Amino acid sequence: MPPMDLFRIENERTGASPGIVTLWLEQEGRPVVVLDHDLIQKLERTLKSLPNNADGLILASAAPRAFVAGADLQAIAELDDDRLHKYLQYASSVFGMLCELPYPTAAAIHSAVLGGGLELAMHCDGLIASPPADHDGKPGRPYPVGLPEAGLSICPGWGGTNLLPARIDPTNAIHQTAIGKPMNFDEAKAAGLFDQVADSHDSLIETARQWIRDQKRPVTRTGTPSRWIGCPDVASKVLESLDSVRGELTQAPGVAVCDAIDTGLAKGWSSALAVEQEHLVRLRNEPAGKQAIEAFFAKSAKKA
């Protein structure tokens, strides 16, 4: 059993070299993983404990209903501005630890991955997904994948504006993020979001391991995610896409998304994160943001 203050780590091999290690996210008593402060602290401790001589890392989730449901919306709604900034900045620094590991990383996505959950996954080099799990012998419903923050009249805060356009068609990515419209699994697969798709839920981890085995070594790290809009192979296309859709995105979240992309292209990853977070804090204080978040909580309470 792992220490209570660490997530479970599964080594591919025993002995001096652990092979590819799998980190299992889980919150006891919850069917989903929520990126609250305690969980982020636990993730930080676990990432610090990883062996340097591993062959790769798989970031997986043991939660039955979602890979990661997203950020702690209660914190976004209730923390004062200074504490909310610190929460967002702290999580960014922990997610960034994935971008410093000396071996390939892959997120193993088995179910819903939304908002901060997708942002966390996109800090990994690869996104490996499985089809929805069967239910009562029938194919499961396609699960949601995307950045829905604008649907709550806010915006991403952990790099989503700069990450998604580097993985799918940037015009579609910018538009989806600006209006808060997630894809489902089938749409995300067709868009090319996933680097590989397993045949089934049961083969997801082995598929992720094989993807990692196929990556070039050694891994070159720059302190930023390996795939974001500042990478030379996508920057010009993202700029072209941004210019083509900017005039359509006049609502506050869309303007924030465009600003964060502009900043990333012009000033780099850290500046883009700072701009995202400034906008998120500002937008949650606006009447539209407050009303949308309150409505979300009210709807959730009725379902409980």
Cα angle for residues 6, 8, 13 (degrees, 5° grid): 130
pLDDT for 303: 75
- Among the ranges given (77-81, 197-201, 216-220, 261-265), the one the predictor scored with the smallest mean pLDDT: 216-220
pLDDT for 72: 96
Which residue type is seen at 240? E
| Contact predicate 156/147, CB 8 Å | yes
Residue 229 and residue 244: Cα distance in Å, rounded? 16
Residues 234-266: tens digit of each pLDDT: 999 999 999 999 999 999 999 999 999 999 999
| Contact predicate 259/279, CB 8 Å | yes
pLDDT for 1: 47
Q: What mean pLDDT is predicted for residues 216-223?
A: 91
| Contact predicate 163/90, CB 8 Å | no
Cα-only R_g, the chain: 18
What percent of the chain has a predicted confidence (pLDDT) above 70?
99
Write down the mean pLDDT value for the chain: 95
Bigger pLDDT: 15 vs 126: 126
Start-to-end CA span in the chain (Å) = 32
pLDDT for 235: 98
The pairing of strands 183-184 and 144-146 is: antiparallel
Q: How crowded is residue 85: how many other Cβ atoms within 10 Å of its Cβ?
A: 17
pLDDT for 301: 84
Residue 181's SS3 state is coil
The pairing of strands 66-68 and 112-114 is: parallel
Give the domain ranges of the chain.
8-303
Residue 75 Cα distances to 34, 100, 154, angstroms: 11, 27, 14
The answer as to CATH 3.90.226.10 being correct for domain 8-303 is: yes
Taking the model in full, what pTM does it have?
A: 0.96
pLDDT at 304 over 80: no
| Contact predicate 147/158, CB 8 Å | no
Q: How crowded is residue 45: how many other Cβ atoms within 10 Å of its Cβ?
A: 14
pLDDT band at residue 47 under the 50/70/90 scheme:
very high
Q: What mean pLDDT is predicted for residues 179-205?
A: 97
Q: What mean pLDDT is predicted for residues 103-109?
A: 98
pLDDT at 191 over 50: yes
